[in-house]
Amino acid sequence: MIQYFVLLPILFVMHHVSSPHTSVKYELLLINHTDINKSQTCKLFQDQFPSLSIPEPIHWQLLGSPLNLESAPLHLKAKTKVLASITENLELIEPHQAFFILKNCLSIPKLTYLLRSAPCFKCKEELEAFDTAVRIKTEKICNVTFGKDSWSQASLPIPHGGLGLCSAADLSLPCFLS
């Protein structure tokens, strides 16, 4: 019965916050539940919230940030896919404008929140895949092929002779610590 009294204030708040024009998404994250308790808890909440979803722990997130270590690689892969789809049309505009948009809007700025809020520094392969996607798109925009040394120089800050394209793998630990 105590569980039901805890549920009533949540229902009260939810009905006042949501408007009839917006869809409400309910997710229940069950932490440290046994299988017996889990089924009882799920039933209790699903009776009150018919549209309730119960995601697996690997898909847990809060405000777009993963809540456990297993989720971080999935989020980084999703960011890499989004980068690839967003940057498809950059080749259609002038190279200088396309490079400016890639560098200042689409590469690291799209990843900063995730790097700061999750321990992505432990996901080297996914970070390198993101960096590779940025490098490939930069090569297409600038019509230049970067070798290993030339890409290292290109990822330096502009005052140090680079193009200012930061590496996600290099920034991941400082971002998380800040």
| Local confidence band at 133 (pLDDT 50, 70, 90 cut-offs) | very high
| Local confidence band at 99 (pLDDT 50, 70, 90 cut-offs) | very high
Residue 1: what pLDDT?
A: 33
User: Does the pLDDT value for residue 78 go beyond 80?
Assistant: yes
Residue 119: what pLDDT?
A: 92
Residue 43 vs residue 115, higher pLDDT: 115
Residue 96: what pLDDT?
A: 93
The residue type at 108:
I
Residue 33 vs residue 130, higher pLDDT: 130
Quote the Cα angle for 173-80-127, to 5°. Answer: 25
Q: pTM above 0.85? A: no
Residue 143 vs residue 19, higher pLDDT: 143
The residue type at 62:
L
Cα 74 from Cα 80, distance rounded (Å): 10
SS3 88: helix
CB atoms closer than 10 angstroms to residue 103? 19
The residue ranges of every structural domain in the chain are: 2-54, 65-177
Checking 152-161 for CB contacts under 8 A at 24+ apart, the result is none
Six token digits for residue 143: 């019509």
User: Does the pLDDT value for residue 31 go beyond 60?
Assistant: yes
Residue 121 vs residue 9, higher pLDDT: 121
Six token digits for residue 149: 């040394």
CB atoms closer than 10 angstroms to residue 105? 11
SS3 156: coil
Cα 146 from Cα 107, distance rounded (Å): 17
